[in-house]
Amino acid sequence: MTITATPTPAKGLISPTNHALVLIDFQSQMAFATKSIDATLLRNNAALISNAAAGFKVPTILTTVAEKSFSGPMFSEITDAFPGQKLLDRTSMNTWEDAAVIDEVNRIGKDRLVIAGLWTSVCIVGPALSALEQGFEVYVITDASGDISDEAHERAVQRMIQAGAKPMTSLQYLLELQRDWARAETYDFTTGVAKRLGGAYGLGVTYAKTMFGASEGGH
C-alpha cells in the first residue's frame, strides 16, 4: 500500500486553541528545595511559557498550595503575564482533588492539558495521572518543572510518560504555538518572547536581525 503525504500537521501538536495550560505551585517555598534545575533557569522558563500562553490567548489556570500559610506567592514572572487573574489556592497536594480547579477545567472545556510546576514528583504527577485516568490528554513541560533532586524529577517524568503523558520543553511550547513563520499576526510577538527569554536561540534571532536584517520565513 502506498502512503500519500499531505501538508497537514499531526493532531498531537498543540495549538493556541486545542489545550489549556495549568501552572502549579510555582512558589517560593517550593523553589527553595528544588535542585534538579537552577532557580534562574526555572524562573526564565516559567516566564517563557507564561508569556507564550498569554500572548496566544491560551486558557490558563494558575494554582497555588497554602499560599498564605506556608508556600508563599506565585512567581511574579507568571502573575505579571496574567494581570488580575485569580490564583486558585488549595490544601490538596494533588491539584486534581481540588473542586475549584476542576470546576475551572470543566468551564474551559479542553480535553488536552499542558502542565508544569513544582515539584514534579508530587504536584505534577498527581494531576497528570489523575487527568489521564479520566480520559484527558496530558503534556508536561519538563524544563519548567523541578524537584528536590535529579533522581526525583527524572523518575517522576518517567512515571508520567509510562502512564501516557507527553513531555515537551518551554521553547518547544512557544514555537509549537507559532509553528508557521508565515503567521504574520503573531510573528513579532513570538520572536520578541524568544529574544527576551529564549536563551541562545533568542541571541541568534537578535544577531540575525541586527546584523543582516534577517528573519524566519522572510518577514
CB neighbour class for 36 (10 Å; exposed up to 12, middle 13-18, buried from 19):
buried
State how far the Cα of 141 lies from the Cα of 218, in Å rounded to an integer: 30
Q: What is the dihedral of CA 128, 134, 135, 136, to 10 degrees?
A: -40
For the question of residue 131 being annotated catalytic, the response is: no
Distances (CA, A) of 10 to 14, 15, 110, 114, 174: 9, 11, 18, 17, 17
Cell numbers describing residue 95: 491539584
123, 131, 138, 168: the catalytic one is: 123
State how far the Cα of 155 lies from the Cα of 179, in Å rounded to an integer: 30
Residues with catalytic function:
123
